């Protein structure tokens, strides 16, 4: 008969002591483990699928709130992309490994033999399930603390990448604050030329908004548009400085 494992070591890693340890046990129980456990025990056991659903929401809320408060100049488009990159399966897999979740995940024999302990999908789902277990057991503040303990360094390290490279979103946000009468500035992009050999084309993009016209270059159309947006952002910054606006 299967017996429930000791999870005190994992509680130490999480820096959280469960009031109801069965919540953590469920969070770590993959469907393959539950199916095998049920066949050899009269104890009713649930998999982590429902917890994963809840954990996804808690995780998104914590990450979104942290980005919103910590990186106040990051435009909405960049925030959305940044959050998506942080909570995608690949990222959650890495976060799961960082708390040694691969050592504690409970798998059936068949899934274990198939390398389930190292499958990104299994560990990512379990990571979210653990978040939900802490949320249910101790409340939002403890779940938030656990998430930020694991993820904050990565968020801070990568935030600048999403702010400085998404010039188009940043420009859109800046222009939305400017009005001509009742009309808002609306940037229009176009590819106006190319240069260089066919195998290494350089695209030249133009962006127009009101009386502003700027151009930029890049190795792809998107890169050229981002470059043009960056130039216009610089022009807006100079105009604001000259007019005394912050």
Q: Where are the domains of the chain?
A: 8-165, 167-243
Q: Transcribe 16-83 into DSSP letters.
A: ---SSHHHHHHHTB-HHHHHHHHHH-SS----SHHHHHHHHHHHHHHHHHHHHHH-TTS-HHHHHHHH
Q: Is 36 a catalytic residue?
A: no
Active-site residue, from 36, 52, 56, 144: 56
Q: Transcribe 170-199 into DSSP letters.
A: HHHHHHTT-EETTEEP--EEEEEEEES-GG
- pTM for the model stands at 0.68
In this prediction, residue 1 carries a pLDDT of 43
- Residues of the chain where predicted confidence (pLDDT) is lower than 70: 1-3, 38-43, 163-165, 179-184, 244-246
Distance CA 85, CA 13 (A): 24
Q: Is 173 a catalytic residue?
A: no
Active-site residue, from 52, 111, 128, 166: 128
Instruction: Return the CATH architecture of domain 167-243.
Output: 2-Layer Sandwich (3.30)
Q: What is the pLDDT of residues 118-162, one digit of tens each?
A: 999 999 999 999 999 999 999 999 999 999 999 999 998 888 777
With contact defined as beta carbons under 8 Å apart, do 166 and 85 qualify?
Answer: no
User: Domain 8-165 is in which class?
Assistant: mainly alpha
């Amino acid at each position: 008969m299967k017996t429930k494992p000791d999870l005190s070591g994992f509680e130490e890693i999480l820096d959280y002591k469960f009031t109801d340890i069965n919540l953590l046990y469920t969070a770590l129980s993959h469907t393959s483990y539950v199916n095998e456990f049920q066949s050899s025990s009269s104890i009713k056991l649930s998999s982590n699928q429902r917890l994963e659903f809840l954990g996804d929401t808690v995780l998104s809320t914590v990450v979104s709130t942290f980005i919103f408060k910590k990186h106040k100049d990051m435009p909405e488009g960049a925030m959305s992309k940044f959050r998506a990159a942080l909570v995608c399966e690949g990222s959650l897999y890495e976060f799961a490994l960082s708390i040694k979740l691969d050592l504690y995940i409970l798998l059936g024999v068949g899934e274990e033999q198939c390398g389930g302990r190292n499958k990104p999908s299994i560990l990512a789902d379990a990571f979210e399930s653990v978040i939900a277990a802490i949320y249910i057991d101790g409340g939002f503040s403890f779940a938030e603390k656990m998430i930020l303990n694991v993820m904050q360094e990565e968020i801070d390290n990568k935030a600048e990448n999403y702010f400085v490279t998404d010039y188009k979103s940043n420009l859109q946000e800046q222009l939305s604050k400017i009005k001509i009468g009742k009309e808002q500035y609306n940037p229009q992009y176009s590819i106006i030329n190319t240069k260089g050999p066919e195998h290494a084309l350089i695209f030249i993009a133009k962006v127009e908004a009101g009386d502003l016209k700027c151009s930029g270059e890049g190795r792809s159309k998107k890169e050229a548009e981002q470059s043009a947006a960056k130039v216009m952002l610089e022009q807006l910054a100079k105009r604001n400085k000259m007019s005394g606006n912050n």
